[in-house]
C-alpha cells in the first residue's frame, strides 16, 4: 500500500468549542461517551473564548517512540502514524511524560496508554466536524493551505489599510 501522506490539520480559529470530536472519538474507540478517553481534546480558555483542539501530531522523530524502553511504539509509514503495540507495552507511561503535546494519555480504567490512530485513515472527528476545524489533508498540501490563509489575511489587511489611508 502506498503511503497516503495525510495528516490531521487543526485550524483552531474555526473551532466552535462544541467537543463533538471528543464524544465521537470515545464512542468509536471504546463504545462509550467519555472525553477522558478521547484521543482529541479541546483545550479552552473560556474567559476569552479561545478553544484549541489538541491531538497527536504523528511526529517523524517521535519522542514517545524514542523514550519507550521496550520499543512498543513505532511509525506506520503507510498511514503516516505512530502506533502502540500493546503486546509489548508495559504501561510505564514514559511516553505520556515525554510527549510535548500531551497527546499520549493513560486510561485509568483499562490501565493502558492511548493515542490517536487516525481511525485507520478515516478520522471520525474530521467526519463529524462540520466546521473542519479538524481536517485530514495531504501533508504536502499543508504548507500551501497555510500560505493561502496567510495570503488572504495579508490581502484583507492591505485593503483595510488603503481605506484607512483614504479616510485620513
Partner 1 sequence: MPLDRKIGYVDLSTGNIEIKPIPLEIRKKFLGGRGLDAYLLYNHTKKGVDPLGPDNVLLFSGGILTATCASATARTHVMAKSPLTGLLGSANMGGFFAPELAWAGFHHIVIKGKARKPVYLWIHNGEIEIRDAKNIWGRTVTDSQWAIRDELGDEEVKCAVCGPAGENLVRFANVMTGIKNSAGRTGMGCVMGSKNLKALAARGTMDIKIAHPTEALEFNKRFIDQIVSAKVNQTQGTLGTPFIWGATNSWGGIRCRNFQLNQCEYADDIEPERLDEIATETIGPYHMTGCFGCQVHCRAQYRIPSGPYAGRYDEGPEYTSQGAFGGEPDCKNAVTVLTGNHLVDQFGMDNLETGSLISWAMELYELGILTQKETDGLDLRFGNDEALLEMIERICYRKGWLGDTLADGGIPASEKIGKNSFDYLIQVKGMSNLHSDERATPALALGIATGSRGSDHLRSRPAIDLYHLPEEVLRKIYGTPVPYDGPLSSEHTAYEGKPWQVFWQENCYMGVDCLGICKYHTTFLGATLPNFEDWSRVLYYNTGLEMTPREIWDVAERCYNIERLFNLREGLKRDNPKKGDTLNHRYFDEPCKLGAPDVVGRTIDREKFQKMIDEYYEHHGWDSDGVPLPETLKRLGLENEPSHLL
Please say which residue, 30 or 76, places its beta carbon nearer to partner 1: 30
Kindly list the residues in this chain that would bind partner 1 in the complex (CB under 8 A). 13-20, 23-24, 27-28, 30-37, 44, 46-49, 51, 108-109, 124, 127-128, 130-131
Cell numbers describing residue 12: 483552531
CB of 24 vs partner 1, minimal distance in Å:
7
Burial classification of residue 104, based on how many CB atoms lie within 10 Å of its CB (0-12 exposed, 13-18 middle, 19 or more buried): buried
**75/127 with CB nearer partner 1:** 127
* CA pair distance 35, 26, nearest whole angstrom: 6
Angle (nearest 5°) at CA 145 between 140 and 147: 105
Tell the smallest beta-carbon distance from residue 35 to partner 1 (Å): 7
- Dihedral of alpha carbons 108, 111, 114, 119, sign: negative
CB 106 within 8 A of CB 113: yes
Nearer to partner 1, 46 or 61 (CB): 46
Q: Between residues 19 and 115, which has the closer beta carbon with respect to partner 1?
A: 19
CB of 8 to partner 1, least distance (A): 19
Give the nearest distance from C-beta 128 to partner 1 in angstroms.
7
Amino acid at each position: 500500500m502506498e503511503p497516503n501522506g495525510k495528516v490531521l490539520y487543526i485550524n483552531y480559529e474555526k473551532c466552535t468549542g462544541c467537543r463533538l470530536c471528543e464524544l465521537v472519538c470515545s464512542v468509536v474507540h471504546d463504545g462509550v461517551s467519555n472525553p477522558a478517553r478521547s484521543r482529541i481534546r479541546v483545550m479552552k480558555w473560556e474567559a476569552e473564548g479561545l478553544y484549541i483542539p489538541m491531538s497527536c501530531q504523528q511526529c517523524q522523530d517521535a519522542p514517545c517512540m524514542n523514550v519507550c524502553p521496550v520499543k512498543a511504539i513505532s511509525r506506520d509509514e503507510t498511514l503516516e502514524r505512530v502506533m502502540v503495540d500493546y503486546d509489548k507495552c508495559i504501561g510505564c507511561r514514559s511516553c505520556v511524560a515525554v510527549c510535548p503535546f500531551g497527546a499520549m494519555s493513560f486510561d485509568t480504567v483499562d490501565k493502558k496508554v492511548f493515542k490517536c490512530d487516525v481511525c485507520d485513515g478515516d478520522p471520525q472527528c474530521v467526519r463529524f466536524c462540520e466546521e473542519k476545524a479538524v481536517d485530514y489533508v495531504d501533508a504536502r498540501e499543508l504548507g500551501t493551505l497555510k500560505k493561502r490563509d496567510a495570503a488572504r489575511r495579508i490581502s484583507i489587511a492591505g485593503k483595510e489599510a488603503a481605506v484607512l489611508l483614504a479616510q485620513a
